[in-house]
Structure 1
Amino acid sequence: MTLTASDNITDGQLVYLPPEAGDIDKPRFDPNPDWLSTAEPTLQKAAMWRWFSTHYEDPELTTPHDESGAYLFMDGGPYLADQVIPERFEGLVPDDVIQEMVRSVQAEVGNEWAAKPLDRFGG
């Protein structure tokens, strides 16, 4: 089975992660570090997006608000894209690709994300 990445994340390209990228059927995708470190940048971004999107979600989807409209993060958030992505992929993916990914993720929702609970996946 393959998984496509968001067109916005992969520069308008339809990208499929190969089997050697890791088990994309797991509720929380964790890319194979050996594959990731040698993959081309578009595949690296697709794998980083798959990892990020199985761990974090748009807070607008499920995060309650207070009276003023501010999010009430219940699971330790907000999780900042410009922190969690570099922390996870530094040393595996070139810094410029990581920064492109951070900018793409921020363009999707912003820098603040909520944790995605496993029970959403039935796990």
Structure 2
Amino acid sequence: MQEIKSIIVGNDVYSSAQFKRFSKTRQMELMIEWFGQRYEDPVHRLPYNSREGGYQWINGGPYSAAEVLGDQFGNIAKTSAIEAAVAEIETEGYEWSPMPDLEDDGIYSLDEPFPDLSKFDYDDDEEQTSMRDDVTQLRQEMLGKLDRLETLILAGLPASSGGIGHNNPPEKIDEAPASAVDLVRSLEAIRILRTQSSTDNPDVTQVAASISEIRKVTITVGHWLKERANSAVDTVIGSIVPAGLGATLVAYGKQLWTALESASTSALEWLSAITSML
């Protein structure tokens, strides 16, 4: 646990004594803001390769919010404030990557040796062709998994939500693994991923944001399943999922979680492949 004398949040600086006097709510808010300025969802920058274990943690990590906040604020923040901040952060994810040094402008000393450019091969056509083939294959795999996910999401939407074209906020479905709002947002993320995958120059920022949206719903459904792991919930979905699917709420939740996880993982691999070619 670090001994800190001051806390910098945005453009504001607080002494440790000042921070200790803040209310639980204020401490929680500042810790969440502090964390968000220093750590990010790995989807935004890190390469991803399922064959090598998933994310490649090139900036260090993975870190948990509990680990980071406990180390940084354990001596000056209320325990309940840390727990509340961690709970809020974990609604967005459980594994976090440190942001790279944003003050590094890429200007280095002339005393540093200049790299030997002769070691770089700029005409490796065979490698470029192989990379393009990989991107094409990963794109097809992603689209297939997005199709599967879309089918399950549409099955879980009540008719009253009207789907994406509905102008009013969809009503919450009692007992459902995810709210209609979450499901509609996932459909929009799927639409964006399809659109971006059909262009020659995908917007990686939009792609990453869409993957992050799907991952948030994955976490929500995961929490829902965990809460029901030891319960005897076996309510037939009825109007929520057509009887032809032969699903119960828990069975549907498991199918939805699997499809969300599979689609987001596949999209991450495609994103990592296209960024490696930029």
Instruction: Report the counterpart of residue 72 of structure 2 in structure 1.
Output: 88
Distance 1:30 1:48, change over 3 A: farther
* Residue of structure 1 equivalent to 2:46: 63
Aligned length: 99
1:73 correspondence with 2:57? yes
Q: CA deviation at 1:46?
A: 1.5
Cα shift at 1:59: 0.7
Distance 2:39 2:8 in 1: 19
Match of 2:29, SS? helix
SS of 1:119's partner is coil
Cα distance in 2, alignment partners of residues 35 and 116 from structure 1 = 27
| Structure 1 position 22, deviation (Å) | 4.9
Q: TM-score, normalised by structure 1?
A: 0.68
- Which structure 1 segments of 5+ residues have no match? 1-20
Evaluate the alpha carbon distance shift between residue 121 and residue 102 of structure 1 in structure 2; reply closer, same or farther with a 3 A threshold: farther
Distance in 2 of aligned mates of 1:34 and 1:107: 30
CA contact (8 A) 2:8 2:34 kept: no
Residue in structure 2 matched with residue 38 of structure 1 by the alignment: 21
Q: How big is the shift at 1:64?
A: 1.0
Q: Distance in 2 between matches of 1:81 and 1:23?
A: 16
Runs of 4+ aligned residues of structure 1 deviating over 3 Å after TM superposition are 120-123
Which residues of structure 2 form unaligned runs of 5+? 1-6, 107-278
Matched, 1:24 2:10: yes
User: What is the aligned counterpart of 1:107 among 91, 99, 107?
Assistant: 91
Whole-angstrom distance in 2 between the partners of 1:120 and 1:99: 31
- CA contact 1:30–1:51 (8 Å) conserved in 2: no
The structural deviation recorded for 1:57 is 0.5
TM-score, normalised via structure 2 length: 0.32
Give per-residue Cα distances to partners, 1:52-73, cap 9 Å, x unaligned. Answer: 1121011111111014471111
Letter in 1 for 2:102: D
| Percent of residue pairs identical | 26
Decide whether the 8 Å contact of 1:79 with 1:114 is kept in 2: yes
- The structure that is helix-richer by fraction is 2
Query: What is residue 97 of structure 1 aligned with on the other side?
Result: 81
Change over 3 Å in CA distance of 1:60–1:22 after alignment to 2: closer
- AA partner of residue 64 (structure 2): L
Report the RMSD for the aligned CA atoms in angstroms: 2.6
* Residue 101 of structure 2 corresponds to residue 118 of structure 1: yes
Local SS of the residue matching 1:37: helix
Provide the C-alpha distance between the structure 2 equivalents of 1:53 and 1:72, rounded to a whole number of angstroms: 20
Take 1:39 and 1:122, find their aligned partners in 2: how far apart are those partners? 36
In the aligned structure 1, how far is the partner of 2:15 from the partner of 2:105?
Answer: 24
